[in-house]
Structures are given as structure tokens and as C-alpha cells.
Amino acid sequence: MKKEIHPDYFKDAKITCACGAVYQVGSTKEDIQVELCAACHPFYTGKQKLMDTARRVEKFTERATLKATTATGKKVKKEKRAIIKKTKAAKAEK
């Protein structure tokens, strides 16, 4: 390694989260401030909310169940068309 070209490495760098959690890691910065960590992030805490804009999540689950439950061939196309007609009819009623 060449001398004087690499940044200083701190073995006990301190990461402080906005929620108050403090972690000790190795880094080139001595003190790091973050907004989210594993202790407060909604994905890790289980408090995640899915924003279902334009029924995207619902549509995805419909497609996934359709693929899992149907077989191959002409019967599949007929079943898909029937499901699509049902969903369009349900939308029109709303």
C-alpha cells in the first residue's frame, strides 16, 4: 500500500440513529448520524404499511394466485379471460 493516499480508518466509529440507537463499527468517518436503523425502520419492526395505489398489490396477488392455480393450455386462457371479465365487472359496479 502506498502511504499518505488512503483515508484514516477508525475501528470504533460510532453510528448514532435518530431513535437513539448507537452502533460501533469500523469506518473511515469517526462519527456518523443516520435517520433510520434496524431498531426503528418499519420493515424490520413489522410496522410496514403498504400503500396500495391503483390496486397494484391486489393485482399482483391475483396474478400470482392465477399462475399458481392454473394449468397450461387453452383452458388457462379461458380461465384468465373469465377472471378478467369478473374484475372488470366488479370495477364497473363500484
User: Over the stretch 21-71, which tens digit does the pLDDT of each residue have?
Assistant: 999 999 999 999 999 888 888 777 777 666 666 777 788 888 888 776 655
How many structural domains does the chain have?
Answer: 2
Residues 6 or more apart in contact with residue 58 via CB below 8 angstroms:
52
pLDDT at 73 over 70: no
Helix (H) or strand (E) holding 91: helix 74-93
Which CATH number goes with the domain that contains 35? 4.10.80.400
67 and 40, same structural domain?
A: no
pLDDT digits (tens, 9 = 90+) for 10-27: 999 999 999 899 999 999
Report residue 25 as a C-alpha cell.
463499527
Domain that holds residue 24: 10-45
Residue 5 lies in a domain: no
Residue 2 lies in a domain: no
Residues 6 or more apart in contact with residue 45 via CB below 8 angstroms:
39
Residue 40: its pLDDT value, please? 86
